Amino acid sequence: MKFFVDTADTAEIRDLAETGLLDGVTTNPSLIHKAGRNFLEVVEEIAGIVPGPVSAEVVALDHAGMMREAEILRRIADNIAVKVPLTIDGLKTCKALTADGTMVNVTLCFTANQALLAAKAGATFISPFVGRHDDIGFDGMQIISEIRQIYDNYDFRTEILVASVRHPIHVLEAAKIGADVMTAPPAVIRQLFNHPLTERGLETFLADWQKTGQTIG
C-alpha cells in the first residue's frame, strides 16, 4: 500500500520523505489555509520534495472553471494530480483531464456508487473519506471493501486512496482490505512507529550496552 501524507506543511513532508516511506502528498483548501502560504508556491515546493503524486485541488464548481484552474495547476510540475470533487462537473473535468494524460484525484467520495462513477470517468485516484463517515455513525471501512470488490469485478485501474484517516486502525484495516493508497496527517503516520514494547526493548538494550563500557567508533 502506498503512503501519502495529508498536509501542506513542507517541513513535515521533508522529514517524512527522508524515511523513504512517503509515496505522495495530498492537499486541500483547508490545509493550505492552515499553512498560511500562497497556494501555488506551496504546491510547487511540495512537488519538488516528493517525486510521487501531489494532489492540488480546484475550487471552481463548474466544468469550465475547473478546466481553467486545472490548466494552471498541471503546469506546476509533472507529478501534479488535479483534485476535483465528486460532482457531475467534477467528473466531466476528470474525463477531459485523464484523456489528456493528467492524473486526477476525485475527492469527497462517500458511497461505492460514487466510486463506480469516478472509475468510469477515468479517475486516477478515488478518495473515499472513512473518518467523516465514522463521524456520522457509519462504518467507513465498509465502503472501502465495497469499492475494492467493485473495482476488482471490472478490473478498473482507478486506485483506492483511503482519505480522512484518523488513527492507525484505519491504516491497518485499509491495508487488510487491499486499498491501493492511504493518506493521513503526519501525526497519524508517526503513530504507526509507536509501540510500548519497542520503546521498552530499546531502553533495555541501551541500559545493557552502557554496562559494557564500550563505544562504537
Active site residue 95: no
CB 96 within 8 A of CB 88: no
CB-based burial, 11-46: b 16+ in 10 Å, e otherwise: ebbeebbeeeebbbbbbbeebbeeeeeebeebbbbb
Cα dihedral 43→14→170→141 (10° resolution) = 30
SS3 content of the chain, % helix, strand, coil (to 5): 50, 20, 30
Of 83, 95, 120, 211, the active-site residue reads 83
Catalytic (active-site) positions:
83
